[in-house]
Structures are given as C-alpha cells and as structure tokens.
Amino acid sequence: MSSHDEAGLTPNGNGATCAPVSCSCGHNHGHQPFAGETAREPDPNALISARAVSMWRGSREVLTNINLDVKPGEIVTLIGPNGAGKTTLVRILLGIEQPGEGRVVKPASTRIGYVPQRFEVDSAIPMTVASFLALGEHTTLKDIKAALEETGAVKTLNQQLSKLSGGETQRVLIARALLRKPNLLILDEPASGVDFTGEADLYDLIDRLRARHNLGVLLVSHDLHVVMARSDRVICVNGHVCCSGKPEDVSQHAAYARIFGPQAATVLGVYRHHHDHRHDLAGEPKPLASKPPADPPPPARGS
Amino acid sequence: MFEWPEPFVWRAFFAALGLAIIAAPLGCIVVWRRMSYVGETLSQAGLLGVALGLAADINLTLAVILAAVAAAAVLTLLSRQKMVPIDSALGLMHHASLALGIAAIAVVKGPAIDLMSYLFGDVFAVTENDLYWIYGGGAVVLAITLYLWQSLVRLSLHEDLATAEGISPRLPRAAFDLLLAVVIAVAMKIVGILLVMAFLVVPAVAARPLSDTPGRMAVLAAVMAIFGVIFGLWLSLWSDAPGGPSIVIALCTIASISLLAGSFRRR
C-alpha cells in the first residue's frame, strides 16, 4: 500500500489546510471512509447515494471506491479533469451502467431529471422542441409551454431541435427534465457549448430552479470558477474522491491544486471577491482543466 | 386506350404497396440510426440464407429471415471490437455474404440457376400466396413497430437520455433487427437482395425535407413510397424494364426532387 505524506505533495506551498476537508486523496482508499460521506450506511435523507462504487474498463480502474450523497435542496458539484470518470459515475448513478463494485441507493420517492452532456441531435431526425418535450411523456402543450417559460426558452417551441444554439439546447433539456417533476436534477457538463455569460446565466437558472422546487442538484463540471461558488459541496474526482467539502475549502486543498495547478485556487478567490459581477472575470486565465496534459499524472494513481 | 391491367399486374401492385407501407417507418429509423449500410449487409446475408434454404429444402422466406438475424447478431459482436472502424467491418461482412451467397447458390443448384431473380426480384411473379404473406406478416410487423415506436425514436435521438428515463435499449433494438430481417425477406421477392434497402431508405430520404416531426416523416415516407410504386410499375409496363428496378428508379427520382426542393426552401 502506497501511503504518501500529504504535505510532501503540496505543489503550491500555500499550506493546504485539511481541517474542514476530507483528505483521503486516494492513497488509502479501501479502508478509509471519506469525510462528508463518512457514513457506511447511505444517508436516509439522501435522494441518491453511492457507496464504495468502483468501475473497470477492461483492466483499467476508472472509478475507485466512490462515496457520494445528494440531499434535497443542495447543489453538489462533481469536479475533475477530463477522463476522471465523472461521466461514468453519472451513468452509474442513473442506472445506465451497473457498477463493477459497490452500490447505488435511491429511495423510491426519488425522481431524476437528467440533462446529458453533448446533446447533439442528428439533423436526419426531424423534431420540433414541442414534439421532443411531448415525446414519451404524458404532458399537455400548456405544461410544455410552462416548462419552457421557466427555463427561458419558450420562443424555441416550434423550432427544430437540431437548429438550437448550445444554450437553448440546454434550456430545452432542463425543461424536459422539469416536465418529469423531478426532485433530483443531474446535469453533466451543462455549460459545454455555452459561452461565458450564457454559462453564468445557466447556473443562475439552475440555482433558481433548485430554490423554487427544492431540488437536489448534482452537477458535473471540469471548469471551476462559476460553478463552485454556487455549490453547497464540491467533490473533486480523479478516479477516486480526491477531496470534498465546501467550495472555498476544496479550492485551497492540495489535491485540488495538484490536479488543476496552483493558479486554480486563486480563481475561486477572485470570483468570491466580485460576487455578483461575472464580467469582472473576463480577464481570467482559462480554466486549467482544459490545459493539454502537460502536468504529471496525479501521484494518487500509483497503485 | 386504357386497358384494365391483368391479374399479375394487380398482384405486383398490391405486393409493392404492402411493402411500401411496412417499410416506411422502419426505413425512417434506419436513416436516423445511420444504419443504411448495416441494412445493406443484413440483406446480402439473406442471399446466404437463400443458399442454405435451397440446400436444406426449407421455406426460403424463413431461411432469409434466419440468415439476416444471424448476421445482425454477428454485427453486434463486430461492433464491440475497436481494431477497425465499423464501416470497414461492415464492408468485410457485406462482401463476404454476397460472394458466399452467390457461390453457395451455384454449388447447391448448379450454374444454370437464375441468380437474377434473387438479386433483383421479380415483382410480376408474385403469387396470391405471397400476398397473404406480405399482408399477414406485414400487419404483425406494423403492429410491433407502432408499439415500439416511441422507444425507438427516443433511443435514436439520444440513447443515454432514453435509458436514464427508463427505456431499456435491449428489447427495442433486438426487435428492430428482427423486424428489419422480416422486411428484407419479404422485399427480396419484390425488389431483390441488392435493392431491398432502397425500399427502406429512399422513401425516408424523400420524406425528410418535408417533415418536422418523426411521426410525420414516417407517414410521408409511406405516401412517397406508394407514389413510387405506382409510378415505377407504370414505368416498367410502359418500357418493359424489370419491375423492381423500375420502382427503385421511381423512388429515387421522387427523393432527388424532394431533396433538391428542400435545399432551396431552407433559409
């Protein structure tokens, strides 16, 4: 068992304070429960729980011992670099795939609204937004309009799905999710294909919906700034749970800095300074997660 | 000058009409799932089915269905390998089944056999018994298609979303392969192995520019196919060209006009 010393790995020397954050960082997975998700038994209040979920692709372990709970009314953000297994985890939570090990617990009362990543409709399929929202659901045109009104996309009603912009597509997908009357919303990279201001608007919308419908929200993201400040809890995933906790704590965490680079910690800091002024971020460096894989692979995967 | 058509013309008409209606919705799904080449491969596996059916002396329609279903199963396995892209793997299977089928039929029946009727069909040789098969089998195929329609559309649109919303992809997909195999077997008599997919794909192509929803596209595809059948049979009787290819010419003409008109209409 490799057991690295946490301090010795800190690349940014701003003193990773681990106190409010779980510091498992993968090195001792298998026998140490993770803070925030410490309970062995799934939280009875949770809308969905993963316990000790592991997954293999061929001989490669893409997820290791993941524990996770989403409770009503909270926004949990899964964050991690590309290829960290975030989408695989979401697919397991949704029941699209079965985990190699571990289990997903979902009370019967949980109704999931899912917004998939990269929803690119083949233009060979003719489909208006209205017909898409009616597809397979017992809904009325009134409900459909109301849902689109709520997500701010009512003018797309009679447009072709394949002709929508990235932001419009996301809003239509969220409307479809809302029509299922969910209490848990799972969104996989909702901001991909959306420009920066559109991205902030989108997260505002998610935040509003959460408050209005008391939704639990599980967000997947590889970008950092806008998402994190709105999250109640951030779980940093890179095959395993590197760290989790409140956004400001995670951003200061060594494992997080190791994955996203030392500047990543400051991104959130800047954002929190200008709480309501997303334009102030215009000069920000791009999210480091989209950097080419120049940084060394996280040492956590040493096993 | 109009003469009331002879019974064999009526039989040809009703056979092609039945096929047009059955094939239209399935053809749309073939187009949406980008399966034209898959269908092509399945239908050519049907030729191998003909050879096996002749050798084993069983019903040829049944033999073709079995061969196409077996080919669909092999394709599912092939799609899991990552060594070569799926269209190349399809190229392998499609040529292998065509070559094997032709060779096997010649070996079983001797070189004198008329391959043309298998490859291009003979719509004017349709018997009354064939018509029962087309309409009986067709009603079952259409009923299953309608029953699975919503699931198939949602899976074509976005498989993960459909699955997350509670549709298990396995059953609709397997059923679809089976339906496709049945349509191929039925259509073989009319347009032949080599032109079967035209009956599925071309009406859907013709319907696409005029459709704004999946259901409308399926209905329009059937309407287009019916026009194609009428126009094609007339063309065949007038020019003495074989029936199957004439219908396909008519279908392709309609689809080309529709696509052309559609591309002008688009802003």
Strand segments (E) across A45-149: 48-57, 60-70, 75-79, 101-105, 112-115
pLDDT band at A261 (very low <50, low <70, confident <90, very high): low
Length of chain A: 303
**CATH at A103:** 3.40.50.300
Range in A123-132, A158-167, A238-247, B17-26 with the lowest mean pLDDT = A238-247
Residue A105 lies in a domain: yes
Residues A5-18 have pLDDT tens digits of 333 333 333 333 33
Do A232 and A86 form a contact (C-beta atoms < 8 A)?
A: no
Residue A285 lies in a domain: no
Q: Is the pLDDT of residue A300 over 80?
A: no
Residues 49-88 of B with CB under 8 A from A: none
Q: Is the pLDDT of residue B109 over 50?
A: yes
For position B236, what pLDDT does the model report? 94
Q: Is the pLDDT of residue A39 over 70?
A: no
For position A122, what pLDDT does the model report? 85
For position A262, what pLDDT does the model report? 60
The chain-wide mean pLDDT, for chain B, equals 90
From chain B, the residues in CB contact with A178 under 8 A are none
Q: Is the pLDDT of residue A274 over 50?
A: no
Q: Is the pLDDT of residue A54 over 70?
A: yes
Q: Is the pLDDT of residue A290 over 90?
A: no
Do B213 and A131 form a contact (C-beta atoms < 8 A)?
A: yes
Do A225 and A271 form a contact (C-beta atoms < 8 A)?
A: yes
Residue A245 lies in a domain: yes
Give the Cα separation of B211 and B24 in Å (integer). 14
Give the Cα separation of B241 and B123 in Å (integer). 12
Total structural domains within chain A: 1
Asked if B165 lies within 8 A of A132 by C-beta distance, the reply is no
Asked if B150 lies within 8 A of A135 by C-beta distance, the reply is yes
pLDDT band at B120 (very low <50, low <70, confident <90, very high): confident
B260 part of contact set with chain A, CB < 8 Å: no
Residue A125 lies in a domain: no
State pTM to two decimals. Answer: 0.81
DSSP annotation of A40: S
Give the Cα separation of A185 and A206 in Å (integer). 9
Residues B72-100 have pLDDT tens digits of 999 888 888 878 888 888 999 999 999 99
Exposure b/e, B102-111, CB count within 10 A at least 16 = b: bebbeeeeee
Gap from B54 CA to chain A (nearest CA, Å): 39
Q: Is the pLDDT of residue B186 over 60?
A: yes
Of the CA atoms within 13 Å of residue B130, those in its CB half-sphere come to: 25
Residue A246 lies in a domain: yes
Higher-confidence position of A36 and A99:
A99
pLDDT band at A172 (very low <50, low <70, confident <90, very high): very high
Residue A189 lies in a domain: no
B26 part of contact set with chain A, CB < 8 Å: no
Q: Which domains does chain B have, with CATH numbers?
A: 8-197 (1.10.3470.10)
Residue A16 lies in a domain: no
Give the Cα separation of A98 and A102 in Å (integer). 9
Higher-confidence position of A256 and B137:
B137
For position A36, what pLDDT does the model report? 44
Residue A234 lies in a domain: yes
Q: Is the pLDDT of residue A25 over 70?
A: no
The chain-wide mean pLDDT, for chain A, equals 74
ipTM of the complex: 0.85
Could you tell me the residue range of the domain that residue A79 belongs to? 25-111+218-277
Give the Cα separation of A74 and A297 in Å (integer). 31
For position A24, what pLDDT does the model report? 43
